[in-house]
């Protein structure tokens, strides 16, 4: 009787643990791909993901206790610790033992997430896919409920496979850890585009209003009155201006409002003309937009620190709304030249001084970044956007807080090449035509390429927007852009020719 009860406990515990683990994987994929909706994921949905995982662990414990108590399969502690030592279906049991170790690693790193580097947790958490596969194989081969398991496994494997492919093809940027995407004067950098990019969606300027000294808030609505494409906090759109100039700006309105887009634009006297043209727009005037696209996504967390400087508040504003609506804890440190120059300051001040700290430089000096980081819980993401001096100071300060996870977006021209030694002349091969052109030390690779291919795409020409991306076929690029993350600096398949050069004597590109 006792042995029979133990066997039923082992079966029920094992099946329930496997089903709950499968549900955890499916739910995690739904959250990461935002299939559940375009807004920031509410905290209760993330809590459900954690609950399913913990409940799976509980039933796994029941499964193991049932196996230890059952005399028929004769599995002891040694067989549970060491794979391939069981006399009962040794290979099948071994898959379960290996899955047990993976499960322990995933659970341990999740519990210690606030105390370990974010990358460690992310890499270990990715092994959940292997854990799902091993658990499924173990359930199919080690138990006696093969019929039930077989059909369940087929359905679950199909769902997981579909969501995984969807995650890779569509939702891959949703859980990005660090995005170093600059955007000049509040212009958010677009992802790489090709010269065949369409003209964009026609919109009309529905309203322009003063947002701060030198800053205008532009409301856009679809010219045909239809709903605009959905977007998430951190997203940006490309504005195709009447002159033909294309500039990118962060969306700073409400993602739930599908009838309009809002961007905030700082007028820069010595700019390249884009911001001045935006300021000259009038209500009712038609332009076009491309996108939205998101290279500065909001990750899931329990606590956030937001740091903004000047017009850098634009991508941060919708993040704050989303986090506040989800009931997460957050703080904002917002600096500017003066109170009058800080866009949307009144809108933010409504949250209260306990959450929003406005730091006008002319009266309060510079933000105390060290104090802000010290008051932030371990493991919390830090989202920052602003001028280069602010971000450089933050990157230096956060080195003393390795358990805070920094996500940045630049909008000032960043001299990425200042960390690189001078590289003299090299040659570029345009592989499609076979032309080989010299690239002198005093000219950019993009300038040389445009002599042969005048329509070669580019926008910022300062290494941060990514629109001039080219595929490298041979040779070693010398990456000097800020599009690529630090971990991608050794890539040999891509180059941004407006600022980057070559380490090899010749570089072949797909042109």
Percent above pLDDT 70 for the chain? 80
The alpha helices in 287-397, defined as continuous H runs, are 313-325, 345-349, 361-364, 369-374, 388-397
Whether residue 435 has pLDDT greater than 80:
yes
Percent above pLDDT 90 for the chain? 38
Q: What is the pLDDT of residues 382-403, one digit of tens each?
A: 999 998 899 999 999 999 998 8
Whether residue 179 has pLDDT greater than 50:
no
The arithmetic mean of pLDDT across residues 19-23, rounded, is 82
Give the pLDDT score at 308: 96
What does the buried/exposed string (b/e) look like for 395-434 if buried means 16 or more CB atoms within 10 Å of the residue's CB? eebbeebebbbbbbbbbbbbebbeeeeeeeebbbbbbeee
Q: Taking the alpha carbons of 59, 65, 68, 71 in that order, is the dihedral positive or negative?
A: negative
Residue with the two structure tokens 């905290």:
43
Q: Which of 115-129, 162-176, 184-198, 278-292 has the lowest mean pLDDT?
A: 184-198
Query: CA of 25: how far to CAs of 31, 64, 300, in Å?
Result: 10, 21, 16
The tokens for 498 are 């407006």
Give the pLDDT score at 189: 42
Q: Rounded to whole angstroms, how far apart are CA atoms 501 and 103?
A: 45
Q: Which of 116-125, 156-165, 289-298, 443-452 has the lowest mean pLDDT?
A: 116-125
Residue-wise DSSP of 445-510: HHHHHHHH-TT---SS-SSSS-TT-EEEEES-EE---SSS-GGGTT--SEE-TTT-EESSSEEEE-
Give the pLDDT score at 176: 33
Whether residue 7 has pLDDT greater than 80:
no
Higher pLDDT, 414 or 440: 440
| 3-state secondary structure (DSSP) of residue 211 | strand
Whether residue 126 has pLDDT greater than 90:
no
* Number of neighbouring beta carbons within 10 Å of residue 290: 19
Query: CA of 112: how far to CAs of 85, 302, 329, 375, in Å?
Result: 31, 14, 19, 19
Q: What is the pLDDT of residues 181-239, one digit of tens each?
A: 334 344 444 443 333 345 689 999 999 999 999 999 999 999 998 999 999 999 989 89
Give the pLDDT score at 177: 31
The tokens for 65 are 């206790």
Paired strand residues for 106: none
pLDDT-based confidence at 41, cuts 50/70/90?
A: very low
- For the question of whether the overall pTM of this predicted structure is more than 0.75, the answer is no
Q: Give Cα 143 distance to the centre of its chain.
A: 40
Whether residue 467 has pLDDT greater than 60:
yes
Pairing mode of beta strands 501-502, 201-212: unpaired
Q: What is the pLDDT of residues 250-273, one digit of tens each?
A: 999 999 899 999 999 999 877 777
Give the pLDDT score at 101: 87
The tokens for 285 are 């005037």
């Amino acid at each position: 009787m006792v042995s029979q009860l133990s066997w039923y406990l082992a079966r029920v515990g094992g099946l329930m643990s496997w089903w709950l683990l499968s549900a955890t994987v499916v739910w995690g994929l739904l959250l990461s791909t935002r299939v559940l909706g375009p807004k920031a994921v509410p905290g209760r949905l993330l809590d459900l993901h954690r609950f399913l995982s913990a409940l799976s662990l509980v039933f796994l414990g029941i499964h193991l206790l049932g196996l230890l108590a059952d005399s028929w399969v004769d599995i002891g502690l040694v067989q549970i610790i060491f794979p391939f030592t069981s006399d009962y279906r040794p290979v099948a049991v071994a898959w379960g033992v290996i899955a047990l170790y993976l499960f322990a690693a995933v659970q341990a790193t999740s519990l210690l997430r606030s105390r370990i580097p974010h990358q460690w947790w992310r890499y270990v958490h990715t092994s959940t896919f292997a854990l799902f596969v091993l658990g499924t194989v173990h359930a199919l081969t080690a138990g006696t409920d093969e019929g039930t398991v077989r059909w369940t496994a087929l359905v679950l494997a199909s769902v997981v496979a579909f969501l995984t492919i969807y995650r890779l093809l569509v939702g891959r940027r949703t859980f990005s850890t660090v995005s170093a995407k600059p955007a000049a004067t509040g212009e958010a950098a677009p992802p790489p585009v090709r010269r065949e990019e369409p003209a964009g969606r026609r919109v009309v300027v529905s309203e322009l209003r003063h947002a701060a000294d030198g800053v205008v808030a532009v409301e856009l609505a679809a010219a045909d009155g239809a709903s605009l494409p959905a977007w998430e906090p951190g997203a940006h759109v490309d504005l195709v201006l009447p002159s033909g100039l294309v500039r990118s700006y962060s969306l700073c309105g409400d993602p739930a409002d599908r009838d309009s887009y809002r961007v905030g634009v700082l007028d820069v006297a010595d700019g390249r003309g884009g911001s001045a043209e935006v300021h000259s727009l009038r209500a009712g005037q038609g332009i076009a937009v491309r996108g939205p696209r998101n290279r500065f996504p909001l990750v899931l967390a329990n606590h956030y620190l937001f740091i903004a400087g000047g017009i850098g508040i634009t991508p941060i504003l919708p993040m704050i709304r989303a986090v506040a609506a989800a009931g997460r804890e957050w703080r904002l440190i917002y600096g500017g030249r003066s109170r009058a120059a800080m866009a949307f300051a009144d809108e933010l001040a409504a949250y209260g001084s306990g959450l929003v700290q406005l730091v006008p430089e002319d009266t309060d000096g510079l933000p105390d970044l060290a104090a802000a980081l010290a008051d932030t819980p371990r493991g919390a993401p830090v989202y920052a956007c602003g001028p280069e001096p602010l971000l450089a100071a933050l990157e230096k300060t956060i080195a003393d807080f390795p358990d805070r996870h920094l996500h940045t977006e630049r909008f000032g021209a960043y001299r990425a090449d200042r960390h690189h030694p001078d590289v003299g002349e090299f040659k570029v091969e345009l592989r499609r035509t076979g032309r080989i052109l010299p690239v002198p030390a005093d000219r950019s690779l993009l300038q040389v390429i445009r002599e042969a291919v005048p329509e070669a795409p580019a926008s910022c020409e300062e290494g941060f927007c990514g629109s001039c991306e080219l595929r490298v076929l041979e040779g070693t690029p010398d990456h000097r852009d800020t599009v690529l993350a630090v971990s991608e600096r050794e890539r040999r398949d891509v180059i941004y020719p407006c600022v980057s050069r070559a380490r090899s004597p010749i570089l072949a590109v797909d042109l």
